[in-house]
Amino acid sequence: MNSLKTNITGLAFGAMFGGVLAAGSLHEYDTIHNMLKLDEFYVFGFMGSAIVIATIGLGILESRNTKTSFGGTIVLQRSDIKANHLKGGVIFGSGWAIAGTCPAPVLVMLTSGVFLSLIVIAGIFIGLSLSNKQAPAGFGDGEHRIVDQAVERA
């Protein structure tokens, strides 16, 4: 029953998030390209406010040792900028600029009837598959290993 409740909660928050993205026109190709051409500054404000709110909210949750619905504790991971972060950022940013979307808005595009979004969705899964095949043991810069070890100890 807990799994069903978690899934329904996730679906509700996902739908609300999709609604916010749609209301801000962030699922529209032209909006993203206009932002990248520096013609649509509100998108930067939208993203910046999301980062600030998430940082403050997660910081509060971490300081209170808040438990997740899966029984773990919320712990923000901190790491130095490394080459794989920069490479990943360039790949993600390039795909974002070409497609005019990223993983969350592409789902809003699909639900709004833009079926070319299926090409982007396929590309996301192909990229994930390729990165998983090429990843050495312990892939990442420590965040996932630290969380996994903490979960195993609990």
Dig out the tokens for 6 from the structure: 């978690």
Residues making up the chain, counted from first to last: 154
pLDDT digits (tens, 9 = 90+) for 53-90: 999 998 999 999 888 777 788 887 777 888 888 888 88
Residue 65, both tokens = 């040792």
Secondary structure (DSSP) of 22-52: HHTTTT-HHHHHHHHTTS-THHHHHHHHHHH
pLDDT digits (tens, 9 = 90+) for 91-135: 888 888 888 888 888 888 888 888 888 998 998 888 878 776 655
Taking the model in full, what pTM does it have? 0.64
